[in-house]
Amino acid sequence: MSLADQVLAVNDDLPIRTNKPVHSGKVRSVYWLTEEDSKRLIEEKGYDVAPDAPLAIMVISDRISAFDCIWRGEGGLKGVPGKGAALNAISNHWFELFKQNGLADSHILDIPHPFVWIVQKAKPVMIEAICRQYITGSMWRSYAKGEREFCGIEMPEGLEKDKALPELLITPSTKGILKGIHGVPEADDVNITRTNIEDNFEAFNFSKQEDIAEYEKLLKEGFGVISKALAEVEQIFVDTKFEFGYVNDAKGNEKLIYMDEVGTPDSSRIWDDKEYQAGNIVENSKEGFRQFLLNHFPDPDILLNKERMPEREALARDNELPPDALMDVSKTYLSIAEKVTGKEIVLSENPKQEIIDILAKDYGLID
């Protein structure tokens, strides 16, 4: 079997019963179940959700996105072998650890297959909740240019690249384009301050103002749980992005939960601690792939400059990367997943068929 065959690149063509269009994101595809199937599964499986909660099947892929584009390799390699299984395994591990530590629940109700989550519909908080323990990446680039205020927080002089910050920082940005909020530009992924959020909490989809402190608490607690566990396997949790939303439980109580993925190499920077102590930055995250892209193309500004998006899209569309670049990502993701979970990630020979078989037999969701 060729490598290209082992990669699940297209994940929006599964015969899962749905009466809505399949939503295909950069990495995951979402199949909303029919009302009948949602009700039936809630009853059959005893999920702790409102009896009429809409459920979805979320299928991860092995596609790789960086700088808001999807990249592919030579020889028909349309993704990274093992990436999807590694990301899901890491997220599943952290969500389980959050539960054990008495933190909030997530949107995941069930994991039928390493590539698949059954999730409940949540009302998303329109914030990319970013937490930073070190100054690096875009924040360092801005700081080096003389910027001292980030998301309304005044930074001290004398910080050094890739060094620990004086305290854990929350630097939120918008999730999607939010319109009509005073002082917040109508663009995706723009930095916002806590005051922006407090003054417009409803526009950011918070149910009540007090929940802002709750989201910050969950962000810091989640970061702390992952950071401690990573330290035990000699890894440094540098920074990460969490997403939050609201759901109702079976009794009708509204609760704030973790959404999307957490603590993965896609949404976080993770450094090897031994190497860091020796003065080297070894990235166990997607950051290594981003650096490869910046070095690979003659004009890295195309990748960094949001004004040049059409050129960037053309770059991703018209270029096949050396297979080694994608295999390096595969090694990084599988290795960190095995360190985190303590288990080997076994690659499926035919993930698509396995998913169809399980969803047909155990969930009755295939026509």
What long-range pairs does 136-142 form, CB within 8 A, spacing at least 24? 136/161, 136/162, 136/238, 136/239, 136/269, 137/239, 137/269, 137/287, 139/171
- Looking at the chain, the domain(s) classified CATH 3.30.470.20 span 130-204
Position 325 pLDDT exceeds 70: yes
Q: Which helix (H) or strand (E) holds 25?
A: none
pLDDT > 70: what percent of the chain? 99
2 band by pLDDT with thresholds 50, 70 and 90: low
Question: What is the SS3 assignment for 18?
Answer: coil
**Residue 177 confidence (pLDDT):** 87
Give the CATH architecture of domain 130-204: 2-Layer Sandwich (3.30)
Question: What is the SS3 assignment for 152?
Answer: coil
- Looking at the chain, the domain(s) classified CATH 3.30.200.20 span 1-125+226-367
Position 25 pLDDT exceeds 70: yes
Burial of 13 (0-12, 13-18, 19+ CB in 10 A): exposed
1 band by pLDDT with thresholds 50, 70 and 90: low
Q: What is the distance between the alpha carbons of residues 329 and 117, in angstroms, rounded to a whole number?
A: 23
153 band by pLDDT with thresholds 50, 70 and 90: very high
* Buried b or exposed e, range 295-323, using 16+ CB within 10 angstroms: eeeeeeebbeeeeeeeebeebbeeeebeb
Tell me the pLDDT tens digit for each residue of 237-271.
Answer: 999 999 999 999 999 899 999 999 999 999 999 99
CATH 3.40.50.720 fits 1-125+226-367, yes or no: no
